[in-house]
Amino acid sequence: MLLNICKAKNCYFFLAATDWPLIWDFIIMITKDLNLAIEQLQKEELIAMPTETVYGLAGNIYSEKAIRKIFALKERPLFNPLIVHTYAVSQLEHFVRHIPAKAKLLAAAFWPGSLTLVLPKKSTIPDLVTAGKDTVAVRIPNHPVALALLEKLDFPLAAPSANPFGCISPTSPQHVADYFQDQLALVLDGGACKNGIESTIIGFENEEPVLYRLGSIPLEALIEVVGPIIIKNKKEIAPNAPGMLARHYAPNTSTYLVDNIESFIKDFPDQRIGLLQFQKAFTASNVVISKVLSPTGDFKEAAAKLYASLHELDRLSLDMIVAERLPDRDLGKSINDRLTRATKKK
């Protein structure tokens, strides 16, 4: 089949020729007008929606046209299910058959918030959204604009991160516009995302919580509420969390994750290097720019700045980006997870 290639800020993706008329019709608008967003969604079109984690590419879960557009626009494989976003726990009964006791505890403690729960789905949730699985991932985002939007709609929104598949997630309206210039009508402007990395995903097996994805809520905080959480090895997790690919969240520039920046970059004296460091900047003749995530060593600040810093470094046509591994606890663990995936070779 004839394929077209398009370039969205250094991120290449492929579109089947037949998809072009569907999604190549727009000049993107960044707006705070909720009504314009609602209008688009009611027409079964997509918008980018702000959340406290990352911007989402949102569409009506009950519209096959909208959901197919999400997969086409992202170039996301159909086997990778989407998260359903709603505004209140009371809505859950429309989507799920059963809520384990520990899921209720987590929902009460962290919703609205950066936690996604994977629960047994009702048959009313379209199979396209859940990639044919008998579970559905649900989240109530903690962002005033997202909550206002969801409350005004009479359908929930499916929303993966608003980036082409495998690329760095967007944490500002401009990041989304850079990716989807003329393929998306509207970005609903909710400012920069406060948390900056995706939600933590928890599933349940025999009523017990299982970690599917590290994220914005540290494991330690979840364990305080529900006790032990099952953590499987990667091979065991894969069938349940099909989106957890080794390479993801990745800049176009070759990226490395190291424990000791100084000794690593000594071997590349002739390269133009961009550094991503946790607390302290380091300079050397081959370092073009050094970005510090949090001078005070605050994990939350570091997470909030992570993707914006990667986007910025990726725009500079560097030879390589070298990131420093954070302490492996709390949100440092989630940030290390994203950096590990960002640095995996294609």
Which positions lie near ligand TXA, rule CB under 6 A? 51, 53-54, 56, 80-83, 116, 118, 130, 133, 135-137, 139, 141, 159-161, 198-199, 201, 212-213, 240-244
Q: Which long-range contacts (CB under 8 A, 24 or more apart) does 143-148 make?
A: 143/50, 143/51, 143/52, 143/190, 143/193, 143/194, 144/190, 145/32, 145/34, 145/49, 145/50, 145/188, 145/189, 145/190, 146/49, 146/50, 146/51, 146/52, 146/85, 146/190, 147/87, 147/112, 148/34
Q: What one-letter code names the amino acid at 268?
A: F
Reduced to 3 states (helix: H, G, I; strand: E, B; else coil), residue 36 is: helix
Q: Smallest gap, in angstroms, from Cβ of residue 270 to ligand TXA?
A: 37
Which residue, 241 or 320, has its beta carbon nearer to ligand TXA? Answer: 241
Choosing among Mg ion, ligand TXA, none, which partner's interface includes residue 331 (Cβ < 5 to 8 Å by kind)? none
CA dihedral 199, 38, 162, 104 (to 10 degrees): 10
Of these, 63, 114, 116, 161, which contacts Mg ion (CB under 5 A)? 161
- Closest approach of Cβ 5 to ligand TXA, in Å? 23
- Which CB, 135 or 290, lies closer to ligand TXA? 135
**Hey, which residues does 136 pair with through a beta bridge?**
119
Q: Which helix (H) or strand (E) holds 42?
A: helix 34-42
Among residues 160 and 332, whose Cβ is nearest to ligand TXA? 160
> What are 227's two structure tokens?
């006790």
**Which partner, ligand TXA, Mg ion, none, binds residue 136 by CB below 5 to 8 Å per kind?**
ligand TXA
List the structure tokens of 217. 């809520």
Q: In whole angstroms, how close is the CB of 20 to ligand TXA at the nearest point?
A: 23
Q: Does 63 bind Mg ion (CB under 5 A)?
A: no
CB of residue 122 to ligand TXA, shortest distance in Å: 13
Q: Contact letters (x/-) for Mg ion, 102-141, by CB under 5 A?
A: ----------------------------------------
Cα–Cα distance measured from residue 71 to residue 81, given in angstroms and rounded to the nearest whole number: 10
**C-beta closer to ligand TXA: residue 81 or 156:** 81
> Which residue's Cβ lies closest to Mg ion?
161
Q: Which residues bind Mg ion (CB under 5 A)?
A: 161
